[in-house]
């Protein structure tokens, strides 16, 4: 029987052992800084071996992955010095790798310790409603066309939380098929994630169905004590209700507020997705991607980049 605890270890839901055992089975290790048996910092590291090289990289369905750092003082200067010190120590404990590319939690502000240790950095973005947020005021901030689509969808569809993971995955596949792509994760992986997260009361699948029971859109939301994350979703390309996706997403946002969570859209660098998420009026939040390559892998890494530029 699964122990019903919100967190087995410090950190958000993506940093929990049960999560990592599903998205990166037998491929992750936990780097920790401990004092007197207490964890002061931790950073789960996911590894993959290929053709004799070791890659440290993000697992599927996981947008950000640590580090978590315990803060012991509200003073700004203490927070900064603690973060610097702990990041330096965590970096020093990294296992050997040939290429590392990782997305840091948005609360890691100071990326300079990585720069000092030979990493490169670039910024990524998501959109968040920070709790508390007033849903009535938030509704008014939605782009007028989004509000209009949601109202129309409400006339034709009913939102349900009794959506099965198989139905969700079918929507995901249809959405990817429309773009000539395939999902980066299997049905088995997302099924196990939903199973384990649901056992901990950390998952909700919302869907919009018509009067005949046809599913038009479905989305998976997972949450921890602090935030609700839009993890996966899809829609039926043959749907004649353009507001189905927005209707489902709006219900996920409202539920996050009711459980006293922030809501994270899990933003994308894809232009069309960024434009759509921004239409909900949430705050744009930046987080850091860090990268590094070993000397022996550098010729392959930079040679591949150069070849790509030549072909372009």
**Alpha-carbon span 15 to 6, nearest angstrom:** 12
**Alpha-carbon span 253 to 259, nearest angstrom:** 10
Three-state DSSP at 232 gives strand
Domain ranges of the chain: 13-125+287-311, 132-260
Residue 35 structure tokens: 């004092």
How do the pLDDT tens digits run along the chain, 312 residues long? 334 344 589 999 999 999 999 999 999 999 999 999 999 999 999 999 999 999 999 999 999 999 999 998 889 899 999 999 999 999 999 999 999 999 999 999 899 999 999 999 999 999 999 999 999 999 999 999 999 999 999 999 999 999 999 999 999 999 999 999 999 999 999 999 999 999 999 999 999 999 999 999 999 999 999 999 999 999 999 999 999 999 999 999 999 999 999 999 987 778 888 999 999 999 999 999 999 999 999 888 776 665 566 665
Contact status, residue 95 vs residue 139, Cβ threshold 8 Å: no
Residue for token pair 């996966």: 232
CATH classification (class only), 132-260: alpha beta
Query: In this structure, what is the dihedral angle of CA atoms 166, 169, 171, 172, given to the nearest 10 degrees?
Result: 180
**Alpha-carbon span 291 to 57, nearest angstrom:** 9
Pick the CATH number of 13-125+287-311 from 3.40.1350, 3.30.980, 3.90.1570, 3.40.630: 3.40.630
Query: In this structure, what is the dihedral angle of CA atoms 26, 28, 31, 36, given to the nearest 10 degrees?
Result: -40
Would you state the pLDDT for residue 4? 35
Alpha-helical (H) ranges within the chain are 17-23, 76-92, 112-116, 135-141, 144-156, 165-178, 187-199, 244-258, 271-278, 298-311
Domain pair 13-125+287-311 / 132-260, same fold: yes
């Amino acid at each position: 029987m699964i122990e019903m605890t919100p967190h087995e270890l410090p950190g958000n839901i993506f940093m929990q052992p049960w999560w990592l055992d599903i998205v990166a089975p037998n491929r992750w290790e936990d780097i920790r800084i401990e004092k007197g048996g207490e964890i002061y910092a931790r950073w789960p590291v996911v590894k993959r071996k290929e053709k004799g090289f070791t890659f440290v990289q993000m697992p599927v369905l996981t947008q950000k992955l640590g580090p978590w750092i315990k803060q012991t003082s509200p003073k700004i200067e203490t927070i900064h010095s603690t973060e610097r010190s702990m990041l330096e120590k965590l970096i020093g404990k990294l296992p050997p790798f040939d290429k590392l590319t990782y997305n840091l939690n948005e609360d890691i502000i100071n990326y300079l310790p990585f720069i000092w240790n030979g990493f490169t950095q670039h910024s990524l973005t998501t959109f968040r409603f920070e709790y508390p947020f007033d849903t009535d005021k938030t509704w008014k901030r939605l782009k007028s066309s989004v509000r209009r689509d949601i109202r129309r969808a409400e006339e034709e569809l009913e939102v349900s939380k009794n959506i099965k993971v198989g139905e969700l995955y079918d929507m995901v596949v249809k959405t990817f098929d429309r773009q000539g792509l395939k999902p980066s994760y299997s049905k088995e992986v997302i099924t196990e994630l939903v199973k384990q997260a649901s056992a901990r009361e950390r998952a909700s699948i919302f869907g919009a169905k018509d009067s005949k029971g046809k599913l038009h859109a479905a989305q998976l939301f997972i949450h921890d004590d602090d935030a609700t994350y839009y993890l996966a979703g899809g829609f039926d390309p043959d749907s004649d209700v353009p507001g189905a996706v927005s209707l489902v997403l709006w219900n996920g946002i409202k539920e996050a507020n009711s459980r006293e969570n922030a809501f994270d859209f899990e933003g994308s660098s894809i232009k069309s997705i960024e434009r759509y998420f921004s239409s909900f009026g949430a705050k744009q939040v930046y987080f850091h991607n860090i990268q590094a390559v070993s000397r022996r892998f550098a010729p392959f890494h930079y040679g591949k980049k150069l070849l790509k530029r030549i072909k372009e």
